[in-house]
Structure 1
């Protein structure tokens, strides 16, 4: 058990969805679908009906094209997100723990943060070619910038009471870092991962719109040329489902790793 969990003992709250919350979430989802359907049948919108989108999704699923596009996009997101997150955590710790590292790295982080990944895609394609490398690179960059800032913020936000208490107990700097800084920073790191996932999906779609031969973003671009709105919606729904599943996985990991933290 870490020093943080020894000091900040609190009654862990239950962050899992209760049956009542699940009911309201299901009701909200059904209400959104109902409003969509009403808008289409009443002529208020040119959007396809939910039934036409579902029918098109089944067709693409049976044809196998949907699964291929989902695999292509998911593979790019997972590789870029994993590489960006793995690198972001040690860099964030360095920035938060050592002032020299912060002075050297932080200006570059802030510089690239204000540049949209979409603006880097053309440069990445010109310098890295049109294969998978530029797509994965821009996803990596988006995930890295989100995670490194959160990790750094987590380190500098650690309550000094924990550090002082650990020193009073005779802990060395290495022990303080391993058993105080890292556990206390974990919630910030995981929030950065969740933000990075959203950035990764937004970036992969943008990358596939510009230069790709497969993927959900590529499929949307092709559907746009033929004004195939149901196919566009199928890709949007697939991205939303995949992103939601990945986000829930991170939330469950957060619950396991931060069970000591006081919940509201």
Structure 2
């Protein structure tokens, strides 16, 4: 007997609404049990509306989004080819795999002092820190995807006369695509997670910058607005990648 683990669209929407209602109820409860300074939904909504009206939220969102997109695009653009090279060529793997493991153990946030000294306090170090976070996450997944390709598929393709270029194009790339897309999603989360720290570097705008300014004045509603904005934008971007993953990896069996 096979279990039905998939939900219909209506069921998914209903579950999403119930989840949101539960979260709002819990939020309202926490704001009314005496936690000092903890803002309720109404206070945060009011602050968000004020930020929208004066244009601050829009300008901060655009500034942060630009940094994340640039750093993320460069990171993914480099990680995918490097991951393929490491997975396909043993000599490249031997040269770069130890450095990949080494850099994975160093948090991108620990690179901020070095980035400031070498790159100054402009946009470059902010983008670099975000790039590093996205690059390492995607590199590992791409590399793992290549080395995880079933050897039987490779041997079968060779027996049928496939050249290296055909083997790479029709076997390695399709089989690695699900891993790459998962790495892109993880890299996206890492990029947004690094944003707030990256905007510590003498930023004058951005969601992380505004959050840090609000912290100085104990302005919790503003902090909540920035947190929610980061979460919503990150969720929307992740959903786009998830749709791409389902489309490109539709041949895979799913539970």
What is the TM-score normalised by the length of structure 2? 0.95
* 1:1-264 correspondence to structure 2 within 5 Å: 18-44=9-35, 46-264=37-255
CA distance in 1, matches of 2:138, 2:114: 23
CA distance in 2, matches of 1:204, 1:149: 21
Which stretch has the larger CA shift, 36-45 or 21-30?
36-45
CA distance in 2, matches of 1:45, 1:96: 53
CA distance in 2, matches of 1:40, 1:90: 49
Larger RCO (CA under 8 A, 6+ residues apart): 1
Size of the aligned set, in residue pairs, is 252
- 1:69, 1:216 within 8 Å by CA — same for their partners in 2? yes
- 1:150, 1:188 within 8 Å by CA — same for their partners in 2? yes
- 1:15, 1:255 within 8 Å by CA — same for their partners in 2? no
- How far residue 116 of structure 1 moved from its aligned partner, in angstroms, is 0.8
CA distance in 2, matches of 1:224, 1:187: 40
CA distance in 1, matches of 2:14, 2:207: 31
Gaps of 5+ in 2: none
SS at match of 2:212: helix
- How far residue 42 of structure 1 moved from its aligned partner, in angstroms, is 2.5
Which stretch has the larger CA shift, 72-81 or 46-55?
46-55
CA distance in 1, matches of 2:97, 2:148: 16
- 2:121, 2:201 within 8 Å by CA — same for their partners in 1? no
Gaps of 5+ in 1: 1-12
- 2:126, 2:201 within 8 Å by CA — same for their partners in 1? no
CA distance in 2, matches of 1:161, 1:182: 15
- How far residue 22 of structure 1 moved from its aligned partner, in angstroms, is 1.9
